[in-house]
A and B are shown apart, each in its own frame.
Chain A
Amino acid sequence: MDQSIKGRWESWIFDYWHPTREALALYRIFTGLFILFFLMPPADLYSHLAALPDDLFTPPPGPMMLFDRFPEAWLLHGVHWLLVLSLVAMTLGVYTRLSSLLSGLFILFLKGFIYSIGKINHDLLLAVIPLLFAFSNWGAAWSVDSVIRNKKEETAGWPLPLLALLIGFMMFTAGFPKILGGWLAFDTQAARGHFLNQYFLKERRDLLAESATGWESSVLWESLDYLTIFFEVGFILAIWRLSSARLFVCFAILFHFSTMMIMNIAFLFNFVAYAAFLNWDYVLQQIRRMEERLAGREPVRPFILKTPILWGLGLVSVFSLVKFITAFDSLVELSDLQSWELLLVSAAVPVALAGIWRSFRSDRICRYLNG
């Protein structure tokens, strides 16, 4: 192996991940359905935006400044439906690259106007995923494209290290100002200050929030300050190997779970990006095993013996069930946290714990840390 800087650089880009066509297809279908079910821009907002006076059109510095007012509601609804169409096309693998790129651009367009009321959110990764993975050729299998072309196409793994770089850098931008802002000082508890702002100002008072107002231990809150910074700043160091990046993604899930429990913030948008780091080949193996078991049962054989159909229908069933259960929910009432967010983030926790367990068991991280 070429150990020169150039060699390592090329190896990082091109040998980081060698996805199989099927593994990428699993991720494509997951991403499309996850966004369609849970992460679509809120369509009920469009009529409100269109009715806003020009005084309230305050686009953030950037491309939205090219506009001087909110568009008509029909335009926003129209783009919303185009987004739905492009996501469906991406999921089914119809003109996959084009539909993925359009999905990302439509998300940016709609979010741009939603964020022109004077406050932005930090969910850019949601748009980045389809834009980036459009170039992985994630429509090379289990897609309409692959059926029509009828040839085995190459896939590209480089979008994953690039995504790792983006997440690592963005995490760094979250952690670095905290160091400058005094989060590490022992006589201040910043996590607590942030929690109290969420509790009082944004009235996020579900799950453990009420009880956390009484947590008076400065050691506990200071530990949270340190853990937050360790995790956020450490991420950038972990991106250079897939195994360590996966470990930090698992930490990220636990981090988001804890902020959800205490501050009622789920940050579910990031989970689509974190999902890219899943070992999709392992998922594929499990689905195939299930498929083999089902193959023994005569009645289902003719229809269900197709992995993508099993995967797609399985996801649709699970996501529908989550939506259905939480439609009548009362799991969370005192915040803007949605019950399905609570279920989904909680469901990711065992996956993260298993990932951490595997990382340490396989000793890869220890070897990495020891050089």
Chain B
Amino acid sequence: MTNLKDRQRVKWLFLFIIIYLPVQYGIVGIVGLHHSEPWPSFVFPGFRSVPIAGLQPYSHIDTEFHLYKSDGSEPVVVSGMELFQWVPRSQSRGFLRTHFFEPEEIEQYSPEMKLWLNEQICQTYPGRQFERFEVVLRETFYSRDNNGLRQDSVKTHLRTGFQLPRQSCTEERCRDWPDEKGQSGSVIESQGGSSWINP
């Protein structure tokens, strides 16, 4: 590069970036504490909180969805990755943690959100009709034996849910149920009720 003015600009750019990188890292750290990680930012994931002690049991928390029919039969259990198959796996855990973790948030889902969830269920189970949707957070514990890790026990941390909109699933679409007068219309029954289950 021969142009002196250009060289000067490039030097300033480098200086700016060298100052900017640690500053933005600090901002990412502070904002990330209270909110999610800012984007775009020049950071790679740190995976700070994954160490496990050699002799301790390993455990992980999963989000499950329990789908209840009106006939009182056992619920159909579906994992987050199965219900939202379109979510890239690299994002699935974060997606579930952001939207299906806080009971208050789940109870305040908008009617639009409940309709959308019903659509997802219809696409996963075409032709089947469910009445109630529950989010269940379960922690699975593993112990070690000579053959490696073995599932030991499961603890339920959260169970919360609501009535699904009155829609029938035909093939992969949802259709509004006809109401008593024979007119179609979506009725959202917000019967929440959640509980964090103490250990």
Interface residues of A (CB under 8 A from B): 9-10, 13-14, 42, 44-45, 48, 51-56, 58, 60-64, 108, 112, 114-115, 117-122, 124, 127, 154, 156, 158, 161-162, 165-166, 169-171, 173-178, 180-183, 185, 187-190, 192-194, 196-197, 200-204, 213-214, 216, 218, 232, 265, 335-336
Question: In the bound complex, how far is the Cα of B58 from the Cα of A193, in angstroms?
Answer: 8
At the interface, yes or no: B195 with Cβ under 8 Å from chain A? no
At the interface, yes or no: B196 with Cβ under 8 Å from chain A? no
Contacts A190-B52, A193-B52 given; indicate if A118 touches B44 (C-beta within 8 A): no
Query: Are the CB atoms of A190 and B47 closer together than 8 Å?
Result: yes
Query: Are the CB atoms of A55 and B99 closer together than 8 Å?
Result: yes
Q: How far is the CB of B11 from chain A (nearest CB, A)?
A: 6
At the interface, yes or no: B148 with Cβ under 8 Å from chain A? yes
Q: How far is the CB of A124 from chain B (nearest CB, A)?
A: 5
Question: In the bound complex, how far is the Cα of B55 from the Cα of A192, in angstroms?
Answer: 12
Question: In the bound complex, how far is the Cα of B21 from the Cα of A48, in angstroms?
Answer: 34
Q: Which residue of A lies closest to B47 (CB)?
A: A194
At the interface, yes or no: B191 with Cβ under 8 Å from chain A? no
- The B interface is mostly helix, strand or loop, or mixed, namely mixed
Question: In the bound complex, how far is the Cα of B62 from the Cα of A293, in angstroms?
Answer: 59
At the interface, yes or no: B92 with Cβ under 8 Å from chain A? yes
Question: In the bound complex, how far is the Cα of B95 from the Cα of A154, in angstroms?
Answer: 47
**Listed A/B pairs (28) with beta-carbon separation below 8 Å:** A14-B1, A14-B7, A42-B88, A44-B86, A51-B116, A58-B99, A60-B37, A117-B95, A118-B91, A118-B95, A118-B99, A124-B39, A162-B14, A165-B18, A173-B46, A176-B46, A180-B48, A181-B48, A181-B50, A182-B51, A188-B51, A188-B52, A188-B54, A189-B53, A193-B50, A194-B50, A196-B149, A213-B149
Query: Are the CB atoms of B147 and A119 closer together than 8 Å?
Result: no
* Interface core residue of A181, A193, A204 (most chain B CB under 10 Å): A193
Query: Are the CB atoms of B140 and A200 closer together than 8 Å?
Result: yes
Could you tell me which residues of chain B, from 12 to 42, have a CB within 8 Å of some CB in chain A? 13-14, 17-18, 21, 25, 31, 35-42
Contacts A53-B112, A112-B39 given; indicate if A118 touches B97 (C-beta within 8 A): yes
Q: How far is the CB of A360 from chain B (nearest CB, A)?
A: 27
Question: In the bound complex, how far is the Cα of B113 from the Cα of A58, in angstroms?
Answer: 14
| Chain B hits for A127, CB < 8 A | 40
Q: How far is the CB of A92 from chain B (nearest CB, A)?
A: 25
Query: Are the CB atoms of A174 and B99 closer together than 8 Å?
Result: no
| Chain A hits for B110, CB < 8 A | 53-55
Q: How far is the CB of A155 from chain B (nearest CB, A)?
A: 9
Question: In the bound complex, how far is the Cα of B149 from the Cα of A89, in angstroms?
Answer: 52
At the interface, yes or no: B43 with Cβ under 8 Å from chain A? yes
Query: Are the CB atoms of A216 and B148 closer together than 8 Å?
Result: yes
Which of these, B11, B25, B36, B42, contacts A13 with CB under 8 Å? B11
| Chain B hits for A183, CB < 8 A | 51
What 3 A-B pairs come out closest when comparing CB atoms? A119-B94, A118-B98, A177-B46
Query: Are the CB atoms of A158 and B1 closer together than 8 Å?
Result: yes
Q: How far is the CB of B172 from chain A (nearest CB, A)?
A: 13
Query: Are the CB atoms of A62 and B38 closer together than 8 Å?
Result: yes
Query: Are the CB atoms of A120 and B39 closer together than 8 Å?
Result: yes
Contacts A52-B116, A53-B116, A182-B51 given; indicate if A124 touches B98 (C-beta within 8 A): no
Question: In the bound complex, how far is the Cα of B119 from the Cα of A63, in angstroms?
Answer: 30
Query: Are the CB atoms of A55 and B7 closer together than 8 Å?
Result: no
Q: How far is the CB of A110 from chain B (nearest CB, A)?
A: 12
| Chain A hits for B44, CB < 8 A | 122, 170-171, 173-174, 232
* Interface core residue of A10, A54, A64, A169 (most chain B CB under 10 Å): A169
| Chain A hits for B70, CB < 8 A | none
Query: Are the CB atoms of B42 and A169 closer together than 8 Å?
Result: yes
Q: How far is the CB of B20 from chain A (nearest CB, A)?
A: 10
Query: Are the CB atoms of B14 and A202 closer together than 8 Å?
Result: no
Question: In the bound complex, how far is the Cα of B94 from the Cα of A201, in angstroms?
Answer: 11
Query: Are the CB atoms of A118 and B36 closer together than 8 Å?
Result: yes
Query: Are the CB atoms of A13 and B51 closer together than 8 Å?
Result: no
* Interface core residue of B13, B47, B86 (most chain A CB under 10 Å): B47
At the interface, yes or no: B77 with Cβ under 8 Å from chain A? no
| Chain B hits for A55, CB < 8 A | 99, 109-110, 112-113
Contacts A60-B36, A122-B45, A174-B45 given; indicate if A202 touches B92 (C-beta within 8 A): yes
Question: In the bound complex, how far is the Cα of B112 from the Cα of A165, in angstroms?
Answer: 46
| Chain B hits for A197, CB < 8 A | 50, 60
| Chain B hits for A185, CB < 8 A | 51
At the interface, yes or no: B154 with Cβ under 8 Å from chain A? no
Chain B window 64-96, contacts with chain A (Cβ cutoff 8 Å), 1 for yes, 0 for no: 000000000000000001000011111111110
| Chain A hits for B14, CB < 8 A | 13, 158, 161-162, 165
Q: Which residue of A lies closest to B147 (CB)?
A: A214
Q: Which residue of B lies closest to A159 (CB)?
A: B10
Which of these, B1, B91, B115, B148, contacts A119 with CB under 8 Å? B91
Given contacts A52-B116, A177-B47, A335-B89, 12 further A-B contacts (CB under 8 A): A13-B14, A45-B86, A54-B110, A62-B41, A120-B37, A122-B45, A124-B40, A124-B42, A171-B44, A181-B50, A201-B62, A336-B89
Query: Are the CB atoms of B116 and A119 closer together than 8 Å?
Result: no
Query: Are the CB atoms of A202 and B89 closer together than 8 Å?
Result: yes
Contacts A14-B7, A193-B58, A196-B60 given; indicate if A178 touches B48 (C-beta within 8 A): yes
